[in-house]
Amino acid sequence: MRAPMAVKRAAILHLLLHLVFFHVAALAGKRPIAMVRRRQGQHLLQEKATLLELKRSLTLLSPSAPLLADWNESNPDSCGFTRVTCDWRRQHVTKLALNDMNISGTIPPLIANLTRLRSLDMSSNFLTGQIPAELSNLRWLGVLNLGRNQLSGGIPPSLSALANLFYLRLRENRLSGPIPAAIFKNCTDLGLVDFANNNLSGEIPRDTDTSGDFCAYSVFVLNLFSNRLTGKLPRWLANCTYLYLLDVENNRLADELPTNIISGKQQLVYLHLSNNDRFLSHDGNTNLEPFFAAVSNCSQILEIEAGALGIGGLLPSLLGSMLPPNMSHLNLELNKIEGPIPADIGDVINITLMNLSSNQLNGTVPASICALPKLERLSLSNNNLTGEIPACIGNATRLGELDLSGNALSGSIPSGIGTQLENLYLQSNRLSGAIPATRLAECIRLLHLDLSDNRLTGEIPDKVSGTGIVSLNLSCNRISGELPRGLGDMQLVQVIDLSWNNFTGPISPQLAVGCPELEVLDLSHNSLRGDLPLSLDLLKDLQNLDVSDNSLTGQIPVNLTKCTSLKHVNLSYNNFIGDVPTTGIFASFTYLSYIGNPGLCGSVVRRNCQRHPQWYQSRKYLVVMSVCAAVLAFVLTILCAVSFWKIRDRLAAMREDMFRGRRSGGSSPVVKYKYPRVTYQELVEATEEFSTDRLVGTGSYGRVYRGTLRDGTMVAVKVLQLQSGNSTRSFNRECQVLKRIRHRNLMRIITACSLADFKALVLPFMANGSLERCLYAGPPAELSLVQRVNICSDIAEGMAYLHHHSPVKVIHCDLKPSNVLINDDMTALVSDFGISRLVMSVSGVSNTADVGASTANMLCGSIGYIPPEYGYGSNPTTKGDVYSFGVLVMEMVTKKKPTDDMFDAGLSLHKWVKSHYHGQAHAVVDQVLAGMVLDQTPEVRRMWDVAIGELLELGILCTQESASTRPTMIDAADDLDRLKRYLGGDTTVTFASSLGFSSTIVEDIDD
């Protein structure tokens, strides 16, 4: 019994000790709990004050209700504020969602007082200013979304202190500067990074940019779309196992296709690389297979955007099996991809968009495309595809856009073409036959239909023209018949272009009544008859009306003045009669809108409108007029005979005096040169009323016609388009230049005709036309290498005269092949001085002179030939002409225009030639030119290789970015002269000139 009692006592003692312990602990804990509660209350008051101050810094745009009405002092609990979230114990603000509130203002730094904030979303507002660096104090912050605002400045590097950050979205702002590398190093949980649509520059941070471990491998979304980033893709992306989206479109990156980065990425869905400076495929931009092999292992990928990168090579023959079947979007436009489209492309059964346009693809359109059940957009435009459009194309039942334009497709348009089409572009092919009426009429969604520049025949079906089309272009075909009645039922149409066809009959008044949205109406170059409908005045939005080259009659409707939007009217070459209106919108149209209408009269066409009384028609009047005309003719004959005899005697006397060496007043007889006078009427006669048959060229300021003067001289009449604001200044400038220069390689002026509403230059006619025409004419008129060198030398001599030997220095400002003319013996003459600058030297200082009208607002060149410094606001200089000359020289060798579609996304003619100059020059030389030398002897081949190398080097040197490093035109002319002598057999010629040409080129070839 004693043992159990001892146990009971011990248990009771133990229980008492526990009770005492808890009682003491409770007494001891009362003060700390109270202190904690007081501190929590102070913290809540501080957060409330911060929120109220934040509200005061913001403004609600277009308020329909008070901004954050319950954010006020009377509300005791800040955790109850709208768009505020606190933790479960309501002790701290953890989430602030002020997105999509239409508010403006700046982000106050005091927001950093919300120290327990885990999510801050102020996106889709109108916030300005910079991102506060103080946000780095929000150490618990995991989500930061400030996208779609107007924030400026840089991304604060202090954000790298946010160790818990996993969602960072700053897209669609005005942020600039580099991306802080420390963010990718320190924010170890960073998963989503979205900086799209800003002005960020520099390189994407790489692991070599920071010391220590690079901790960006958790990134699964990297969106840097539309910035100004340069360099290469960072290689740490290859370690991002869960990469879901990579978007670097619209930047300035230059790299190889990211095969290693995407390899094995099972989570990758979106890969967007388009529109960067220059990407290359493997093996020197010739092999696409490794890239698509890596894509085949990305089983979840849906979209590949790789357009305008400059990548080259052949599409893999098994491309269809290499692309994951779930892929829906493939864009490879604007590249250098060659060869045929793989036949198994139809295996990608889920694809909705396929864009292979603007490449160098050949072969036919594979019929397997018809088997793509989900295909919505197919673009194969601007390639070299041949054959017919697959008849089964209608099997692609979801096809909404079909673009096969700019190829060499033949045959007819398939009668089974898809009925869901919204956009159909088949222009610039060789299609023939009639337009398939029934199937196209079923395309109730059709908005844009362009079948222009083909060989289509037949008539336009009423059903086609009666659909809800917005734009209809059937120009440059052989379509005949009358304009369909359905043309007047197109309620939504904005553009109708039926020019250059064989339409007959009248223009229906219903056309204007039923097309209220019409902006462009072009019916030119047909055989339409009848009057212009008076109902055209109903087209309030009409901007362009062209009915030229038809057989229209009647008077010009004066009520067209109601079309206040009308900017361009061309009624030329018809049979209109009566007065030309001059009021309202007609006040801005010149005679060019009416030429070729002999029945028109008025001040615009400089033809008086005679009002003949009835008695003019009487018999008596006719008899009197006949007698008077006979008498007048007799008198004029006598006067002409007498004048002829006197002039003959005078000329004989002058010849006798000159032969005997007689002196008049002690000086030799001097013949003073004067420009012959020519009237507007003489030019009208010389060009057959400026007939289109006499039109030999058009330019930015007017047209050039071939004419024959009364003395039989063949001339070129350059008529200025006075609608252009700069045309008068261009005319004055060209006259000022041409009267000052004399050189065998510069165009001379015969005379000029200047009236208030008509201005023309009369120049010698060049039967060979422009250098552009000769260069791109094609066989059998291909220019040989010797001819090309001679032409370049002629141009250089002419430009050297303008820059260094002319009485007044001339800066041409628009040197290009279309402004160089070739005469009968293939001599080149520089022409078109419409925007030239004259440089006067005053006390040894050269000043650009604006002789005549100011040219301050005139363009300084043509796209592709303009030197880079002009784009930064520099004044025109002779070194700018040197740049244009360098582009021209490279174009002569490569037969590639600087505006060729291949030169995009940062690639230029200069960069392309320079990248192939060392060891790969054959890749840029015109293939026709290269073929001319194949049958020559080895010695001639060596000479041609040297000549081509020298021309390419000259082009590269003349087009250097820095103007100061370019040679002068004298230097260029000297070296081209040596090159001409070298090709002529002078083996003593060297090329180590002031241009810096290296003679090692010759040595390498000789070796």
Q: Is residue 853 part of a domain?
A: yes
Condensed to tens digits (0 to 9), the pLDDT of residues 451-482 reads 999 999 998 877 766 567 899 999 999 999 99
Q: Which residues contact 677 (CB under 8 A, 6 or more apart)?
A: 751
Contact 485, 509 (CB under 8 A): no
Q: How confident is the model at residue 750 (pLDDT cuts 50, 70, 90)?
A: confident
Contact 75, 44 (CB under 8 A): no
Helix (H) or strand (E) segment spanning residue 154: none
Residues belonging to the chain: 1007
Of the listed ranges 18-32, 233-247, 640-654, 695-709, the one predicted with least confidence: 18-32
Contact 445, 421 (CB under 8 A): yes
Contact 324, 347 (CB under 8 A): no
Contact 485, 510 (CB under 8 A): yes
Closest CA to 449 of 468, 433, 462, 432: 468
Q: How confident is the model at residue 844 (pLDDT cuts 50, 70, 90)?
A: very low
Contact 768, 822 (CB under 8 A): yes
CA 275 to each of CA 328, 333, 903, 962: distance values in angstroms, whole numbers, following the listed order: 20, 10, 12, 26
DSSP state of 235: G
Last residue of a domain, one of 765, 797, 818: 765
Contact 489, 467 (CB under 8 A): no
Contact 533, 558 (CB under 8 A): no
* Model confidence at 668: pLDDT above 60: no
Which domain, by its residues, includes 857?
769-1006
Q: How far apart are CA 172 and CA 226, in angstroms?
A: 9
Q: How far apart are CA 311 and CA 334, in angstroms?
A: 9
Contact 829, 805 (CB under 8 A): no
The reply to whether 781 and 761 lie within a common domain is no
Say whether 814 is catalytic: yes
Task: Please identify which residue in the block is written with the tokens 């079906």.
Answer: 461
Of the listed ranges 257-271, 293-307, 611-625, the one predicted with least confidence: 611-625
**Strands 377-379 and 353-355, bridge-based pairing:** parallel
Q: What is the mean pLDDT of the chain?
A: 82
Condensed to tens digits (0 to 9), the pLDDT of residues 489-539 reads 888 899 999 999 999 999 998 888 888 999 999 999 999 999 999 999 899
Closest CA to 348 of 320, 315, 376: 320
* Model confidence at 1004: pLDDT above 70: no
Q: Is residue 218 part of a domain?
A: no
The reply to whether 967 and 870 lie within a common domain is yes
Q: How confident is the model at residue 663 (pLDDT cuts 50, 70, 90)?
A: very low
Report the pLDDT averaged over residues 985-1000: 54
pLDDT at 767: 82
User: What are the contacts of 855-859 at 24+ separation with CB within 8 A?
Assistant: 855/726, 855/729, 855/733, 857/726, 858/726, 858/729, 858/730, 859/835
* 486 three-state secondary structure: helix
Q: How far apart are CA 48 and CA 714, in angstroms?
A: 90
The reply to whether 929 and 843 lie within a common domain is yes
* Model confidence at 726: pLDDT above 70: no
The reply to whether 812 and 726 lie within a common domain is no
Condensed to tens digits (0 to 9), the pLDDT of residues 160-213 reads 999 999 999 999 999 999 999 999 988 888 999 999 999 999 999 987 544 445
Contact 670, 689 (CB under 8 A): no
* 331 three-state secondary structure: strand
Closest CA to 466 of 442, 496, 499, 489: 489
Q: Is residue 362 part of a domain?
A: no
CATH number at residue 965: 1.10.510.10
The reply to whether 995 and 963 lie within a common domain is yes
Report the pLDDT averaged over residues 681-693: 86
pLDDT at 16: 46
* Model confidence at 705: pLDDT above 60: yes
The reply to whether 919 and 801 lie within a common domain is yes
Contact 104, 125 (CB under 8 A): yes
Per-residue DSSP letters for 676-699? PP--HHHHHHHTTTT-GGGEEEE-
The reply to whether 685 and 701 lie within a common domain is yes
Q: Is residue 555 part of a domain?
A: no
Q: How far apart are CA 311 and CA 279, in angstroms?
A: 6
Q: How confident is the model at residue 40 (pLDDT cuts 50, 70, 90)?
A: low
pLDDT at 397: 85
Dihedral angle computed from the Cα positions of residues 403, 409, 412 and 418, in that order, rounded to the nearest 10 degrees: -20
The reply to whether 809 and 940 lie within a common domain is yes
Other residues' Cβ atoms within 10 Å of the Cβ of residue 983? 18
The reply to whether 842 and 915 lie within a common domain is yes
Q: Is residue 942 part of a domain?
A: yes
pLDDT at 620: 58
- Tokens linked to 84: 């505020």
**Strands 471-473 and 495-497, bridge-based pairing:** parallel
pLDDT at 722: 62
Q: At what angle do helices 938-958 and 785-800 cross, to 10 degrees?
A: 30
- In the chain, % of residues over pLDDT 70: 83
Contact 996, 954 (CB under 8 A): no
**Strands 448-450 and 471-473, bridge-based pairing:** parallel
Query: Number of structural domains, the chain?
Result: 2
Q: Is residue 931 part of a domain?
A: yes
CA 399 to each of CA 345, 388, 421, 424: distance values in angstroms, whole numbers, following the listed order: 16, 18, 6, 10
Q: Which residues contact 258 (CB under 8 A, 6 or more apart)?
A: 233, 237, 246, 273
The reply to whether 909 and 877 lie within a common domain is yes
- The one-letter code for the residue type at 921 is A
The reply to whether 797 and 696 lie within a common domain is no
Q: How far apart are CA 37 and CA 614, in angstroms?
A: 115
- The one-letter code for the residue type at 822 is I
Phi, psi of 599 (to 5 degrees): -85, -5
H-state helical runs in 178-223: 181-186
**b (16+ CB within 10 A) / e for 296-319:** bebeebbbbbbbbbbbbbbbbeeb
* Model confidence at 445: pLDDT above 50: yes
Q: Which residues contact 774 (CB under 8 A, 6 or more apart)?
A: 768, 781, 783, 822
Condensed to tens digits (0 to 9), the pLDDT of residues 336-395 reads 999 999 999 999 999 999 999 999 999 999 999 998 999 999 999 999 999 999 999 888
- Tokens linked to 969: 């035109």
DSSP state of 672: -
Report whether the peptide linkage leading into residue 157 is cis, meaning its omega lies within 30 degrees of zero.
no
Show the 3-state SS of 782-828.
CCCHHHHHHHHHHHHHHHHHHHHHCCCEEECCCCCHHHEEECCCCCE
Q: CA angle, 655 as apex, 653 and 658 as ends, to 5°?
A: 110
Contact 295, 320 (CB under 8 A): no
Q: Choose, from 814, 926, 971, 975, the residue flagged as catalytic.
A: 814
- The one-letter code for the residue type at 662 is R
- CA neighbours within 13 Å on the CB side: how many for 636? 6
- Tokens linked to 321: 């099996």
Closest CA to 120 of 153, 140, 155, 95: 95
Contact 766, 748 (CB under 8 A): no
Contact 452, 477 (CB under 8 A): yes
What is this structure's pTM?
Answer: 0.62
* Model confidence at 968: pLDDT above 50: yes
**Strands 695-698 and 702-708, bridge-based pairing:** antiparallel
Q: How confident is the model at residue 677 (pLDDT cuts 50, 70, 90)?
A: confident
Q: Is residue 463 part of a domain?
A: no
What is the maximum alpha-carbon separation in the chain? Answer: 175
Last residue of a domain, one of 765, 790, 822: 765
CATH number at residue 728: 3.30.200.20
* 497 three-state secondary structure: strand
**b (16+ CB within 10 A) / e for 179-215:** bbbbbbbbbeebbbbbbbbbebeebbbbbebbeeebb
Q: Which residues contact 497 (CB under 8 A, 6 or more apart)?
A: 452, 472, 473, 474, 475, 520, 522
Q: How confident is the model at residue 440 (pLDDT cuts 50, 70, 90)?
A: low
Last residue of a domain, one of 746, 765, 784: 765
H-state helical runs in 553-700: 619-660, 680-686
Contact 392, 370 (CB under 8 A): yes
Q: Is residue 885 part of a domain?
A: yes
Give the chain's end-to-end CA distance (angstroms, integer).
123
- Tokens linked to 897: 């225009």
Per-residue DSSP letters for 345-372? GGG-TT--EEE--SSEEES---GGGGG-
The reply to whether 761 and 773 lie within a common domain is no
